[in-house]
């Protein structure tokens, strides 16, 4: 019987497996997905940052290289003898024309000659008032340099130039040569080729940041100018800026070698960089989903491999429950479940065997006895019980067995014993054993009822009533009709398992048993079928008895009164009652030694029941006693000599 | 007076014989006139850090009577050896004519843009065509057009009495007794030589010593090509 589920329990093993597998899978894969995703994101960000750092390094290198190239161009000029001659003239116009010539040669946008103090001697560009300061600081830096060289990005006439300054050696440094290259979008585009990022160079003015060289289009550029913080940290910084709706990772750094705050911004779109990482995330999700589906399918499959065999075994168990031992459980697998099925089948065989044994036992001994024997430990011992014992057998069996052939004899006997067994068991009695041509039955052990004695008597009456039917069968077998005798006595006896441990039986022994047997033997003498003792009669209030005699049987000292049960009191008609009464009277006269009256009574009874041998027995007894009168202490007890 | 002279003279000059004859004549005249008594004046030059300064020109400008009777300038030689000018610093009496023999197997192009003497001797080997006369006092910086590091100085003074300090920063001048204004000049001198002036009366038999401390300015030079003597400053 399945138990009621407490709280939440699984109704099916398959569901449990599925839930478990799916749960574990979700947990594990979920954890994996989350951690991989987090790592992925971190990795992506880090990658972008690292790429940007590398780009920044490339940018710096690029600027440096440009600077180097410019310095070398300037150096070449400073060693040009012709220019030295021109410079020595100190003629501003001549010098300027030579400067213009040279700037054409090297592709510079501005060239100047300064005196050692830094004041311009000649310039290709008309300088504004504020430019002197820029030049002055450039000269100061060059003075501090080992080779008297320096470079910077400075504003000249409000335009940005990358300037380099070198001394003019004649052969002592006698002047400064300054070459400048305009910084515009071309520079940013050049740098972009090297760094593969968007490049913007800005300088800080009164109204915020202004870009002087950029690869960005106008709109995003304005956004960038607005988003840059007013103060840029001294070192480089990486920030995430939102421009034109896209996230840009931006490397911001001040440009070295500049007086005015100049800043370079390298930018790379985060979304572009993240593309491959997002693709990876998508792949992860797909794998996760597929894994889930596959796992569910597989776990269902595997669950099936367990639940189906288990269900098969359960069906086998139910068959056993119903008592069907015929169909073994067949499982095709060779794993633990297959082994279980094999064991199960062996168990089933064992159970079948046991059932057969039990069945047989139940047939060999009465089921109640079988149950009693099985229910306790195998041990010898008994208990005192009040029982009614019924003996029955076929009269004249010895002659019968001599006459009939064995097979027919067995058939005849089986017919009688079957009827006896039916009568006994239908009244709650137990056939303790069959003894050749008869049976010994117990009422009150192993199972007792309050009316065991009456049951016994009723059983006997039933058996007697079934005799015609038995004889009909016997006649069919071609044999003479049987005559049977039944003896019933009630009393204390010892009931239990007796014998030896190797060979025991449940049985009842005692005086009570012996007397019942004797009474059965007496039945032929009196020509009655059933003889019951007073003890039995006393416990049968519903049955009409005829007192037969008071006897002393072989081997017993004490006399015992014997009775013949005639049927249920309620069913007894007036005639029968009268006859019983008459018999009681006659018996009384007999015990009173009133031979005349006794004889008359018995004679009258004999006339009314001509087939009954009982009355003739008494008449003969009376005759014998007339001839040999008994002594004064005679109480009417008849002593039977033989068994 | 003594002039430093290094190296041997290669006589490959055209017209050398008349020049030599003139020199002998002058020397003879001077000898015949009899030498003016030369007094010894020694000087030391140190930097502000106390280190001895070499290649400083210590010169005594005569004042008063000593101005008269100055000998005539002699000829001076500045060699080009192993792609360097030798010596590094050459003081000359105003009016001296200087020769620039090229001792290398390659040509040199000597030039100067200094206001005191602007000249050039285009690529040549051996002896130049002409001597260069230094007529104006002042500093003359020499360079070679095709060798950026080659540098030398000619310091033109209005006195024949001068000397150049050695590695120990010491110099010795021989001059006749009299009043002098002694000054120091160095290629890296910070400020004007006049600022270093010390007046001195040189007396017979005295051997005074003057100690100068000068300030020097930082100067840088163009990068020198390899395979040359890095020690030559």
pLDDT in tens, B96-123: 999 999 999 999 999 999 999 999 999 9
Give A597's contacts (C-beta < 8 A, 6+ positions apart): A586, A589
| Distance from C-alpha of B105 to C-alpha of A478, rounded to nearest angstrom | 167
A84–B220 CB contact, under 8 Å: no
CA distance A166 to chain B (A): 10
A88–B118 CB contact, under 8 Å: yes
Across the interface, which of A81, A88, A147 has its CB nearest the CB of B223?
Answer: A147
Q: What homologous superfamily is domain B38-214 in, according to CATH?
A: Cupredoxins -  blue copper proteins (2.60.40.420)
Token readout for B91 is 């003081």
CA distance B98 to chain A (A): 19
A79–B141 CB contact, under 8 Å: no
pLDDT score for A301:
81
Query: How confident is the model over A418-466, as pLDDT tens digits?
Result: 999 999 999 999 999 998 889 999 999 888 899 999 999 999 999 999 9
The mean pLDDT value for A143-157 works out to 84
pLDDT score for A23:
86
Chain B residues near residue A177 by CB distance under 8 angstroms: none
A79–B144 CB contact, under 8 Å: no
| Distance from C-alpha of A93 to C-alpha of A101, rounded to nearest angstrom | 12
Across the interface, which of B118, B141, B218 has its CB nearest the CB of A171?
Answer: B141
Chain A (154-183) residues lying within 8 Å, Cβ to Cβ, of chain B = 167, 169-174
Which chain A residue shows the shortest CA-CA distance from B109?
Answer: A81
Cα→Cα distances A418→A423, A435, A437, A470, A475, Å = 9, 13, 12, 9, 16
Chain B residues near residue A79 by CB distance under 8 angstroms: 148, 222
The mean pLDDT value for A332-337 works out to 80
Q: CB contact, 8 Å: A79 with chain B?
A: yes
Q: CB contact, 8 Å: A144 with chain B?
A: no
The mean pLDDT value for B138-162 works out to 92
DSSP code string of A544-602: EEEEEEEEE-TT--S-EEEEEEEEEGGG--HHHHHHHHHHHHHHHHHHTT-HHHHHHHH
Token readout for B219 is 């100067």
Query: For residue A68, what is the enclosing H or E element?
Result: helix A13-78
B143–A167 CB contact, under 8 Å: no
Q: What homologous superfamily is domain A378-571 in, according to CATH?
A: Nucleotide cyclase, GGDEF domain (3.30.70.1230)
pLDDT score for B12:
45
Query: For residue A462, what is the enclosing H or E element?
Result: helix A452-465
Q: CB contact, 8 Å: A13 with chain B?
A: no
Encode burial over A339-371: b for 16+ CB neighbours within 10 A, e otherwise.
ebbeebbeebeeeeeeeeeeeebeeebbebbbe
CA distance B48 to chain A (A): 20
Residue among B56, B120, B119 at smallest CA distance from B89: B56
pLDDT score for A636:
78
| Distance from C-alpha of A476 to C-alpha of A465, rounded to nearest angstrom | 19
Neighbour-count burial of A614, counting CB atoms closer than 10 A to its CB (0-12 exposed, 13-18 middle, 19+ buried): buried
pLDDT score for B53:
93
**Is the pLDDT score of A365 beyond 80?**
no
> In terms of pLDDT, which residue wins out, A369 or B164?
B164
**Is the pLDDT score of A258 beyond 70?**
no
**Is the pLDDT score of B228 beyond 50?**
no
A167–B220 CB contact, under 8 Å: yes
CB B112, CB A84: distance < 8 Å: no
pTM, to two decimals: 0.52
Alpha-carbon torsion (A143, A144, A150, A151), positive or negative? negative
Which CATH number is correct for A47-271, 3.40.50.670, 3.30.160.20, 3.30.950.10, 3.30.450.20?
Answer: 3.30.450.20
DSSP code string of A306-353: HHHHHHHHHHHHHHHHTT--SS-------SHHHHHHHHHHHHHHHHHH
Cα→Cα distances A309→A20, A201, A273, A331, B84, Å = 20, 78, 55, 7, 108
Q: Where are the domains of chain B?
A: 2-33, 38-214
Q: Predicted confidence band at A292 (pLDDT cuts at 50, 70, 90)?
A: confident
Q: CB contact, 8 Å: A146 with chain B?
A: yes
**Contacts across the A-B interface (CB distance below 8 Å):** 43
**Is the pLDDT score of B1 beyond 70?**
no
Q: How many CA atoms lie within 13 A of A139 on its CB side?
A: 20
| Distance from C-alpha of A44 to C-alpha of A140, rounded to nearest angstrom | 46
Q: Predicted confidence band at B2 (pLDDT cuts at 50, 70, 90)?
A: very low
Give A79's contacts (C-beta < 8 A, 6+ positions apart): A169, B148, B222
Q: How many residues does chain B have?
A: 233
A171–B143 CB contact, under 8 Å: yes
A172–B223 CB contact, under 8 Å: no
Percentage of chain B beyond pLDDT 70 is 76
pLDDT score for B11:
43
Chain B residues near residue A143 by CB distance under 8 angstroms: 218
What are the phi and psi torsion angles at A103 (to 5°)?
Answer: -65, -30
Chain A residues near residue B151 by CB distance under 8 angstroms: 171-172
The mean pLDDT value for A62-86 works out to 85
Give A546's contacts (C-beta < 8 A, 6+ positions apart): A563, A564, A566, A579, A580, A583, A584
Token readout for A580 is 């019983």
Query: For chain B, what is the largest distance between any 2 Cα atoms, rounded to a whole number of angstroms?
Result: 52
> In terms of pLDDT, which residue wins out, A619 or A258?
A619
Chain A residues near residue B225 by CB distance under 8 angstroms: none
pLDDT score for A397:
84
B113–A79 CB contact, under 8 Å: no
The mean pLDDT value for A225-240 works out to 76
Query: How confident is the model over A552-587, as pLDDT tens digits?
Result: 888 888 889 999 999 998 988 898 899 899 999 988
Strand partners, A242: A247
**Is the pLDDT score of B226 beyond 60?**
no
Supply the angle between the helices A613-627 and A574-591 in degrees, to the nearest 10.
20
Q: Where are the domains of chain A?
A: 47-271, 378-571, 573-643
B113–A174 CB contact, under 8 Å: yes
Residue among B79, B74, B95, B86 at smallest CA distance from B19: B74
Q: Predicted confidence band at B30 (pLDDT cuts at 50, 70, 90)?
A: low
pLDDT score for A380:
80
């Amino acid at each position: 019987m399945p138990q009621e589920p407490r709280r939440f329990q699984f109704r099916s093993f398959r569901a449990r497996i599925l839930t478990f597998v799916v749960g574990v899978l979700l947990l594990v894969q979920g954890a994996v997905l989350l951690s991989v995703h987090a790592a992925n994101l971190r990795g992506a960000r880090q990658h972008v940052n690292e790429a940007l750092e590398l780009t920044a390094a490339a940018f710096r290198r690029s600027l440096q290289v440009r600077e180097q190239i410019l310095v070398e161009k300037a150096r070449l000029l400073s060693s040009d003898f012709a220019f030295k001659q021109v410079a020595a003239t100190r003629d501003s116009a001549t010098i300027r024309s030579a400067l213009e010539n040279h700037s054409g040669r090297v592709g510079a946008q501005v060239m100047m000659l300064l005196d050692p103090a830094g004041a311009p001697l000649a310039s290709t560009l008309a300088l504004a008032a504020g430019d002197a300061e820029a030049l002055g600081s450039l000269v100061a830096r060059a003075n501090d340099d080992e080779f008297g060289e320096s470079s910077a990005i400075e504003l000249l006439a409000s335009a940005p130039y990358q300037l380099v300054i070198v001394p003019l050696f004649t052969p002592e440094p006698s002047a400064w040569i300054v070459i400048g290259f305009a910084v515009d979008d071309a520079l940013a585009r050049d740098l972009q080729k090297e760094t593969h990022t968007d490049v913007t160079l800005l300088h800080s003015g009164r109204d915020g940041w202004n870009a002087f060289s950029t690869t960005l289009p106008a709109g995003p550029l304005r956004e960038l100018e607005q988003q840059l913080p007013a103060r840029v940290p001294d070192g480089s910084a990486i920030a995430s800026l939102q421009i034109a709706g896209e996230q840009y990772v931006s490397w911001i750094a001040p440009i070295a070698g500049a007086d005015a705050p100049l800043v370079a911004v390298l930018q790379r779109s985060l979304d572009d960089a993240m593309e491959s990482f997002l693709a990876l995330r998508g792949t992860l999700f797909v794998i996760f989903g597929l894994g889930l589906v596959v796992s569910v399918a597989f776990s269902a499959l595997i669950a099936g491999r367990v639940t189906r065999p288990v269900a098969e075994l359960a069906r086998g168990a139910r068959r056993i429950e119903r008592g069907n031992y015929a169909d073994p459980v067949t499982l095709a697998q060779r794993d633990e479940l297959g082994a279980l099925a094999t064991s199960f089948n062996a168990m089933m065989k064992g159970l079948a065997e046991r059932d057969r044994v039990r069945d047989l036992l139940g047939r060999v001994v009465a089921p109640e006895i079988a149950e009693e024997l099985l229910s306790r430990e195998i041990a010898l011992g008994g208990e005192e019980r009040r029982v009614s014992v019924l003996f029955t057998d076929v009269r004249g069996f010895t002659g019968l067995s001599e006459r009939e052939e064995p097979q027919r004899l067995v058939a005849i006997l089986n017919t009688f014993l079957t009827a006896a067994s039916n009568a006994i068991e239908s009244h709650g009695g137990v056939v303790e054993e069959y003894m050749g041509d008869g049976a010994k039955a117990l009422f009150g052990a192993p199972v007792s009822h309050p009316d065991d004695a009456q049951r016994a008597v009723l059983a006997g009456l039933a058996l007697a009533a079934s005799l015609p039917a038995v004889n009909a069968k016997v006649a069919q077998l071609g044999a003479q009709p049987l005559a049977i005798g039944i003896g019933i006595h009630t009393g204390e006896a010892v009931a239990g398992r007796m014998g030896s441990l190797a060979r025991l039986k449940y049985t009842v022994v005692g005086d009570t048993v012996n007397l019942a047997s004797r009474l059965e033997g007496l039945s032929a003498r009196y020509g009655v079928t059933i003889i019951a003792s007073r003890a039995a009669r006393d416990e049968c209030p519903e049955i009409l008895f005829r007192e037969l005699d008071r006897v002393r049987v072989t081997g017993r000292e004490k006399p015992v009164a014997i009775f013949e049960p005639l049927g249920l009191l309620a069913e007894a008609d007036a005639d029968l009652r009268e006859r019983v009464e008459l018999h009681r009277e006659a018996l009384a006269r007999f015990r009173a030694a009133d031979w005349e009256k006794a004889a008359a009574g018995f004679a009258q009874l004999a006339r009314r029941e001509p087939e009954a041998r009982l009355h003739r027995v008494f008449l003969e007894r009376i005759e014998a006693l007339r001839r040999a009168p008994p002594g004064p202490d005679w109480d009417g007890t008849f002593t039977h000599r033989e068994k | 007076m003594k002039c430093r002279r290094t190296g041997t003279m290669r006589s490959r000059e055209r017209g050398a014989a008349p020049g030599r004859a003139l020199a002998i004549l002058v020397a003879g005249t001077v000898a015949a006139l009899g030498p003016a008594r030369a007094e010894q004046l020694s000087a030391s030059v140190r930097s502000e850090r106390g280190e001895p300064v070499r290649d400083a020109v210590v010169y005594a400008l005569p004042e008063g009577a000593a101005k008269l009777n100055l000998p005539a300038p002699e000829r001076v030689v500045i060699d080009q050896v192993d792609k360097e000018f030798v010596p590094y610093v050459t003081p000359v009496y105003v009016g001296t004519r200087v020769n620039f023999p090229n001792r290398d197997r390659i040509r040199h192009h000597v030039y100067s843009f200094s206001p005191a003497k602007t000249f050039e001797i285009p690529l040549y080997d051996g002896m130049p065509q002409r001597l260069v006369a230094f007529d104006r006092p002042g500093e003359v910086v020499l360079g070679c057009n095709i060798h950026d590091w080659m540098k030398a100085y000619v310091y033109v003074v209005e006195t024949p009495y001068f000397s150049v300090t050695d590695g120990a920063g010491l110099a010795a001048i021989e001059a006749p007794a009299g009043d002098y204004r002694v000054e120091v000049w160095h290629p890296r001198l910070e400020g004007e030589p006049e600022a270093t002036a010390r007046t001195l009366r040189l007396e017979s038999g005295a051997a005074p010593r003057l100690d100068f401390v000068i300030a020097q300015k930082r100067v840088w030079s163009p990068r020198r090509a390899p395979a040359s003597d890095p020690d030559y400053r």
